[in-house]
Amino acid sequence: MANTKEKLVIGGLRRLLNGTARMSRRQAGKIGYYLLTKPRRFPEDPSNEQFLSEADQSTVHFNGTNIHCYHWPGKGPSVFLLHGWESYTGRWYELFGPLAKAGYDIYAIDAPAHGRSGGKRFNVFVYCQAIDQYLEELGFVPDYWIGHSGGGMAAIYYASQADFAHEPKHIISMAVPGELENFVDKFCEIVGANDRVKYGIDYQFQRKLDRSFADINFKEFVKGLKVPGLIIHDEEDDVAPIAGARCMHENWENSRLATTRGCGHSLTGPLVPAIVTEYIRSTQTASVELEK
């Protein structure tokens, strides 16, 4: 539940956006687009500092700034962690323990404009470009890509597009919306923005990215995936409706769907790490059996 300060901020944004939209939908859209593509940076959680400090840390130069990179060496298989919007690598603290205990070789980056990485602007396409630059410098492609929300969007889009050269062996998609419009709708719902504002935001998407946010549809992108994967989604996700995950599962050949209840959009709690590690273990076992 929003505190008093958050309510004041949200109320101010609602008046600004809706008031501006009365005069100009496009001007209101500029403000909304700015807010959606300029993520807030939150202070790092001190409880996450220990596992982050244990990593080998480095930077990769990208688009005039630096992307902060982490590596926890292990015997394998290799895992690549991709966090979502307004998050950072520290969000993986619950999953890190089971992965490290299993001896996996773990890699992660802070997305552009997030965590310890530089930059001020963010969208899925910029995220994919940063991933591509990171993989080029890494010199190999980690086996399993695990992406939460916006990180899962980037993993799916990257692996489904012929423009990108690298491909994982598996993708684990966590709380990924069926379409980007789900996020825009949630933003408008939270701030109380009306349909004129939403129209203006879509106009800015088309002007800046040469596509409508309705075109950024992960239910369709998964049809282009050649790799198997796991979709994890909470039945009560109030940001990315579960219907999108079910449709992605239907459209993604050789995918599995695991649903939870009570874990929310963040998919917190011990159940999700257990699902992830079991999926990796089972696919590794199947791979060994096929090789015999």
pLDDT band at 185 (very low <50, low <70, confident <90, very high): confident
Q: Are residues 135 and 211 in the same domain?
A: no
Q: Are residues 109 and 249 in the same domain?
A: yes
71 and 56 in contact (C-beta within 8 Å)? yes
pLDDT band at 10 (very low <50, low <70, confident <90, very high): low
Residue 55 has pLDDT above 60, yes or no: yes
User: Would you state the pLDDT for residue 9?
Assistant: 61
Closest CA to 151 of 123, 188, 178: 123
CA distances from 128 to 125, 151, 152, 169, 283 (A): 5, 9, 11, 17, 25
104 and 78 in contact (C-beta within 8 Å)? yes
122 and 87 in contact (C-beta within 8 Å)? no
Q: Report d(CA 169, CA 280) in Å as an integer.
A: 11
> Which of 175-179, 204-208, 226-230, 288-292 shows the lowest mean pLDDT across its residues?
288-292
Last residue in a domain, options 189, 216, 243: 216
pLDDT band at 102 (very low <50, low <70, confident <90, very high): very high
User: Would you state the pLDDT for residue 285?
Assistant: 64
User: Would you state the pLDDT for residue 1?
Assistant: 41
Q: What is the rounded average pLDDT of the residues 259-280?
A: 96
Residue 278 has pLDDT above 90, yes or no: yes
User: Would you state the pLDDT for residue 288?
Assistant: 39
What DSSP letter does each residue of the chain carry, written as one string?
---HHHHHHHHHHHHHHHHHHHH-HHHHHHHHHHHHHSPPPPPPPGGGHHHHHTSEEEEEEETTEEEEEEEE--SS-EEEEE--TT--GGGGHHHHHHHHHTT-EEEEEPPTTSTT---S---HHHHHHHHHHHHHHH-S--SEEEEETHHHHHHHHHHH-TT-----SEEEEES--SBTHHHHHHHHHHHT--HHHHHHHHHHHHHHHSS-GGG-BHHHHGGG--S-EEEEEETT-SSS-HHHHHHHHHHSTTEEEEEESSSTTTT-SSHHHHHHHHHHHHHHHHHHHHH-
Q: What is the rounded average pLDDT of the residues 96-111?
A: 96
On average, the pLDDT of the chain sits at 90
Q: Are residues 93 and 136 in the same domain?
A: yes
52 and 89 in contact (C-beta within 8 Å)? yes
Cis peptide bond prior to 77, omega within 30° of 0 = yes
Q: Are residues 168 and 121 in the same domain?
A: yes
Q: Are residues 123 and 170 in the same domain?
A: yes
Question: Pick the residue with more confidence: 276 or 14?
Answer: 276
Residue 290 has pLDDT above 80, yes or no: no
Q: Are residues 204 and 139 in the same domain?
A: no
Last residue in a domain, options 216, 244, 273: 216
Q: Are residues 192 and 101 in the same domain?
A: no
Which residues, at least 6 apart from 167, have a Cβ–Cβ distance to it below 8 Å?
141, 159, 226, 227
Residue 231 is assigned to a structural domain of this protein: yes
Number of domains in the chain: 2
Last residue in a domain, options 194, 216, 238: 216
CATH number at residue 229: 3.40.50.1820
pTM: 0.91
Structure-token pair, residue 62: 């990208």
User: Would you state the pLDDT for residue 81?
Assistant: 98
Q: What is the rounded average pLDDT of the residues 7-36?
A: 81
Residue 66 is assigned to a structural domain of this protein: yes
Q: Are residues 156 and 258 in the same domain?
A: yes
Closest CA to 177 of 250, 91, 240: 240
> Which of 10-19, 22-31, 225-234 shows the lowest mean pLDDT across its residues?
10-19
The range of the structural domain enclosing residue 18 comes to 1-37+180-216
Residue 40 has pLDDT above 90, yes or no: no
Q: What burial letters (b/e) apply to 75-86, b meaning 16+ CB within 10 Å?
A: eebbbbbbbbbb
Taking each helix axis from N to C end, the angle separating 4-23 and 195-209, rounded to the nearest 10 degrees, works out to 80
